[in-house]
Structure formats: C-alpha cells, structure tokens
Amino acid sequence: MWGRLGWQAIPWEQPLPLAASAVVALALGAVLVWVVVKGHLPYVWHEWLSSVDHKRIGVMYIVLALLMLLRGFSDAVLMRAQQAVALNAPGFLPPEHFNQVFSAHGTMMIFFVAMPFMIGLMNYVVPLQLGVRDVAFPTLNSVGFWLTATGALLVNISLVVGEFARTGWLPYPPLSELTYSPGVGVDYYLWALQISGVGTLLSGINLVTTVLKVRAPGMQYLRMPMFCWTTLASNLLIVAAFPILTATLAMLLLDRYLGFHFFTNEAGGNMMMFMNLIWAWGHPEVYILILPAFGVFSEVISTFSHKPLFGYRSMVLATMAICILSFMVWLHHFFTMGAGADVNAIFGIATMVIAVPTGVKIFNWLFTMYGGRIVFATPILWSLAFMTTFVVGGMTGVLLAVPPADFVLHNSLFLVAHFHNMVIPGVLFGAFAGYTYWFPKAFGFRLHEGLGKAAFWCWVIGFYLAFMPLYGLGLMGMTRRMQHYDDPTWRPWLLVAAGGVALIAVGIALQVAQLVVSIRHRQALHDETGDPWNGRSLEWSTPSPPPLFNFAVLPDVEGEDAYWHIKQRAREQNQPRKEVDYRDIHMPRNSATGFICAFFATVMGFALIWHIWWLVAAAFVGAFATFVVFAWRDVHEHLIPAARVADIDREHRDRVASGGNPRSVALRPSA
C-alpha cells in the first residue's frame, strides 16, 4: 500500500533534524492558524497564492529564496562546526549525516536560493523596466513558481522522512546508482530537481518571450536597461541548458527505477557521459545565476553614481558573448579525468576567453563611477564589495582553467574557495543589492540603512574570514567533503573559517532585524514619490508599490535611461504634464492552476520517491485534470475601468506633487 514508506523512514535516532523540523513545522502551523483565525485567508488566497501578477510572483520567489537561505546556511554552519572539531576525531556528525549536509547545502543554495532569488528579481523588475503591464504568460509564470516551491518542499521533507542524497550536489554515478546508493536520498534529489527544473524552464520561456515580444512603445532593444539584457541572456541560457539537466537526470532515473545502464559500471554504462552532460548544463547554470546579478550591479552603479552606464553597447556585447561562450567550456570541470593535452588545453583557453567580456564589464563599471556623484547607499556598497572581491575569484578561476595548475588544485578546498568567491560576491551580493534597491518599489518603504550597512560589513568581513583560509587549505592539500582529517596543520585555518561563518551568521541576523525594524518604522521610511533613489529606468516612474496594472498609460520611450529623460524634459519644460487619456485596462484573471498543479506534483514526487504507484497515478490524474480545467476556461481577463485607472493615477500624481520634488537638486548638472 505505501511502497517503501514505513515508520523506519523517520530518523528517530537523530535529534537534530527532528527538532529543527519540529520547530519549522510549529512556526508554519502558527502562521497558518494566525492567517485563518484573523480572517486573512481570502486575502492570502486571492492576492498571493492564486495571483498571476508578476510582482506578487516575484516577491514569492524571493521569500522562498530567503527562507531556503536560512536552511542552506544552517547546513554551512554544521559543516564548518564539524570540520572545526574533527581532527583525528569523529566529530558530532557521522559520515552518513555529514554527506547529506554538504549535498543538501549545495543543492539548496544553487537551486532554491540563488535561482529563485534571481528569477524573483527578474520577474518583479523586468516588466516594469520594459514599461509593460505583465509578463507574456502570467499563468505559466505562476505554475513555474509553484513547481519550484514543490522542489524546495521535497528537499526539506527528506529531512524527516527518509534521507537526502549523500553524493554531493551533483550526483556523480556510479556512486549515485542503485548499487552504491540504495536509499531514497538520490531519488529525493532527482525528483525535486526534475519538478523544479520544469518550473525553471517555464519561467525561462516566459521571460525570454517577455523581453522579445512585450515591450513598451519605443522600447527598442538598444534602449532596454542593462538588467533586461542580462535577463534575456540568462533566460536564453535557461531555455538552452535546462533541458540538458532534465534529460541527464531522466537517464539516471531510468537507471535507478527501470534497470537501464546509461551510467552504471556494468553493461556498457559510462559515468563519463554523465559528467559531460551534467556540466553541459552546469557551466551555463553559473552564468544563468551571475548574468542577472551583473544586470543588478549595472543598474545600481549607474543609479548611485548619477550617471548613465558607461559603454552600454559594449556591455550588451559582453553579455551576449558570455551567453554564447558559457556553452563551450564545460570540460574544465574534469581536466583530471585523463583527456588528452589538446582537449584540456583547448577547453582551458576557451574558459579564459570568458574572462575577456567579464573583465570588460568590470572596467565599464569602473568608468561608470568615473566623474560620478556617488552616494554610498547599501546597494552600491554591495556592488563595490562585489567588484573588488569578484576579481579575486575570477583570477583563481582562470588559475583553475590552466590544466596543469588544476591537476594539483582540483576538488581541493581551493576549488571550494574559488566558487564561493564567485557565487557569494557575484550572485548573493547582487541579490542583496537588488533586494535593497527594489524593496521600496515593491513595498512602498525603504529598508533601514544603518542595519543594512552593519549586515553588509558582517557579510563582507565574514566572507573573507570564511573563504580565504580555504584557498590556503587547498594549497596545503586538503580536499573537499572531508568528514574528518588527520593533518593538525589544517586545524587553525578551519577554525578561522568557522569564525567567518559565525560573523556571516551575525550578518544574517542583522538582515532579519533590518526587515523587522523597517516594517515597524515603515511610516518614517515611506517612499512618497515612487522614485526613492532618483532612478533612471521606468520602474521608478510608477508609484511604490505599483498598481496592479503597473502603468496607467504605457510610457513612450525615446532613448536609453527612459525615465531619466522624462524627468529631465519635465524639468526643462517646467510645466505640468498634460491631462492623459485614460482607457480601460484588461488584466489577466487570477488562476489557482499553479498552486493546485504544484500540490499534485508534490504528492506525485513523494509517491515516486517511495514507490507508491497508485498515488503516483492519482496525483498525475489530478495534475492533468487541473490543466484541463484551466484549458477550458473561457474568460481570461478582467477589466479595470478607465475611471478607476484615472483615480489611482491622479492620486499618485497628487502625492508626488505635494511631496515636492527634492530630487530636482540632484538633477542639476554640476559645474
């Protein structure tokens, strides 16, 4: 009846995950009870769970990312604590737990922190920057988000029901094959990623179509803000790369469930094929994450320097060059597999070539600051920390791209230090910069600056303390994923790294405090005008938070930095904008399709993991029925009458007018 599922699946002997999960379950239950008792359920259902508004979905993506960041970070704390004590000692985590912890850490951070954070920012910002009312496929967007949430949920369920993969964040066969990993851990990994991978692909298709087909009048390609360009590049990569991931994981699933031999030791299977395929997805994946962050930095550096982005067309070219080159370097992840010198050298050099457009970007940000009037708000602090730290990670990356150097550094802590040195300053700092920068747009009030800066310094110093020793440890010959070790000279550096993680923990606590304090003082931090930073692109021309329809009248774009020019012209002509001709607006109707589909997908994934075949069939029928119901829907849009649009828009204009225009001082060109 219940397949392989039984009471033995609950890890009763492990107090740590059980207690942690109990706390999480209690917290979730409490929130749920509060929502129901206070009568917020209809609001939560209509405005959030079944919403197809790109802004709501973007916010939900980021909430998911922030929650999963806490989970992934607690895994990091466990690893650092274990290695701090495990010199010639078993430590407090036996190998079968430690191996799950580092596998879950990587999986969480890449798939359920970095990805949803970036997709959330793109979802929220891109339609606003393009000057339009929604994405190309709003319901698909909702389905994509909820399938991503399904994947995150399945990984977290593995904490209390069964186990997670013990194979590393990429389950290299034959270790991940049934022979060597007979448990459900790898199955949790595979189904979580198959389901969320579909969600990511849908989101990629949606955002590519949005940038290509849904733009305000006059928003030509070479007038789009840089963030839209990097969104386009990133989502093109998603569309091209995620099917490779799905196919690769499907082959491993066939091996595990139906006795196929794609990657097994026996019967002609070949693990090298898995490594080639997984990295054919895996290397573009890192650019999928970093490109949107590059976009965020471009927006932030330009805005807070009060200058246009330097070398805009050059930046576009560099972005698209990275987009293409990222598909041509995957082999550098396994130089030590024994390929010939020609192959290794060619892929090594191809990898270095990516450093050219990336270097161009760094220099162009540098010259964006040149001659600027830089205001050190939190977002640009994150950007400066990124620029100075990322070049170090880039340098060690090029070092690892030299095959003979990689021969002594591969899979060592030097490698671990390198990719954290790319992903934390690159992706995570970019995410935090974007979070702080666009927060007032989303919620109508700014985040507390003092706490934001305190969190920033903890993160940056904590990062250096946590990861610079890892470079040294790699040169000392320490490999990654060691549950215990016997070299006493490693210990002091591991203790420093643990101290760094503690400092990062303080940074995260300060970020939580920042959110709480900002919500409590939201009146004082209120953003009256919708343009708190004196921004340059169209999202700042709408109220904060924007109305459901984003723009009462679609803007007419006449050049780069569209909103900057609108503001400049208004100041030069010094006359109130003429009365606008408001029209009825059609907006997509809400749909619970995404939420219900994801519910069935969760049940189906869980049933597949535990071999409960009748439940698999039932959940599949449920998901398909949901889709059919949606397909038979006749009315897709609802109408917002022109009078209502006019009311909302006039109210905003009055507010801007009465709030005066303090920014006009900043607009004045300096002598």
Partner 1 sequence: MTERRPAAAARPHMLLPAVTLLAGCQAAVLDPQGPVARAERTILLDSLAIMLAVVVPTIIATLAFAWWYRASNPKATRRPDWSFSGRIELVVWSIPLMVITLLGGVTWIASHQLDPRTPLASDTPPLDLQVVSLDWKWLFIYPGQQVAAVNRLVVPAGVPLRLTLTSASVMNTFFVPQLGSMIYTMNGMATTLHLMADHPGTFAGRSAHFSGDGFSDMHFQVHALPPAEFAEWAASTRSGSGTPLDDAAYLALSKPGVVDRPLDYARVASGLFDRILNQHLPPGPGPMPGPARHSSGRTGH
**CB 269 to partner 1: min, Å:** 9
Report in angstroms how near the CB of residue 398 gets to partner 1 at its nearest: 6
> What is the Cα 340 distance to its own chain's centre?
36
Q: Give 486 or 651: the residue with its C-beta nearer to partner 1.
A: 486
Amino acid (1-letter code) at residue 415: L
Q: How far is the CB of 100 from partner 1 (least distance, A)?
A: 11
**Backbone phi, psi, residue 87, to 5°:** -80, 110
| Total chain residues near partner 1 (CB under 8 A) | 98
**Closest of 666, 662, 440 to residue 542, by C-alpha:** 440
Cβ of residue 166: shortest distance to partner 1, in angstroms?
7
Taking CB under 8 A as the binding criterion, the range among 8-16, 60-68, 408-416, 424-432 that sits at the site for partner 1 is 408-416
Q: Among 15, 182, 259, 559, which residue interacts with partner 1 (rule: CB under 8 A)?
A: 182
DSSP state of 525: T
- Per the CB < 8 A criterion, the answer to whether 418 and 396 are in contact is yes
Tell me: does residue 223 bind partner 1 (CB under 8 A): no
Binding-residue pattern over the window 480 to 499 for partner 1, x denoting contact by CB under 8 A: xxxxxxxx-x--xx------
- Which 523-582 positions form the footprint of partner 1 (CB under 8 A)? none
- Among positive and negative, which fits the CA dihedral 99, 167, 28, 13? negative
What is the closest distance, in whole angstroms, from the C-beta atom of residue 164 to partner 1 in the complex? 14
**Region binding partner 1 by CB under 8 A among candidate stretches 12-20, 429-437, 467-475, 632-640:** 467-475
Say how many C-beta atoms besides its own lie within 10 A of residue 45's C-beta. Answer: 15
24 lies in the binding site for partner 1 (CB under 8 A): no
Cβ of residue 464: shortest distance to partner 1, in angstroms?
Answer: 12
Among 45, 260, 327, 367, binds partner 1 (CB under 8 A): 367
Residue 180 sits in the site that holds partner 1 (CB under 8 A):
yes
Is residue 585 involved in binding partner 1 (CB under 8 A)?
no
Q: Map the footprint of partner 1 across residues 60-99, applying CB under 8 A.
A: 95-96, 99
Q: How far apart are CA 164 and CA 434, in angstroms?
A: 32
222 in contact with partner 1 (CB under 8 A): no
Rg for the chain, CA atoms, rounded: 25
* One of 112, 145, 227, 310 touching partner 1 (CB under 8 A): 310
Question: Phi first, then psi: what are they for 669, rounded to 5°?
Answer: -65, 140
Contact between 392 and partner 1 by CB under 8 A: the answer reads yes
Question: Looking at 110-118, 193-201, 356-364, 529-537, which segment touches partner 1 (CB under 8 A)?
Answer: 356-364
Binding of residue 248 to partner 1 (CB under 8 A): no
The CA-to-CA distance between both ends of the chain, in Å, stands at: 80
- Encoded one letter per residue, x for contact with partner 1 by CB under 8 A and - for no contact, window 321-350 reads -------------x-xxx-xxx-xx--xx-
For partner 1, which residue of 371, 641, 660, 662 counts as binding (CB under 8 A)?
Answer: 371
Rounded to the nearest whole angstrom, what is the least distance from the CB of residue 52 to partner 1 in the complex?
A: 37
Continuous segment of H or E residues that includes residue 587:
strand 585-588
- Among 50-58, 124-132, 370-378, 535-543, which window interacts with partner 1 (CB under 8 A)? 370-378
Please state, in angstroms and rounded to a whole number, the distance separating the CA atoms of residues 165 and 645. 52
Please identify, among the stretches 31-39, 73-81, 283-291, 360-368, the one whose residues bind partner 1 according to the rule CB under 8 A: 360-368
Measured between alpha carbons, how far is 401 from 558 in angstroms, rounded to an integer? Answer: 44
- Residue 399 binds to partner 1 (criterion: CB under 8 A): yes
Which residues make Cβ contacts (< 8 Å) with residue 416, sequence separation at least 6?
Answer: 470, 474, 480
Does residue 172 bind partner 1 (CB under 8 A)? Answer: yes
Calpha distance 583→508 (Å, rounded): 46
Place of tokens 């990429």: 170
- Mind giving me the DSSP string for 23-85? HHHHHHHHHHHHHHHTT-HHHIIIIIIT---HHHHHHHHHHHHHHHHHHHHHHHHHHHHHHHH
Asked if 420 and 47 count as a contact pair (C-beta separation under 8 A), the reply is no
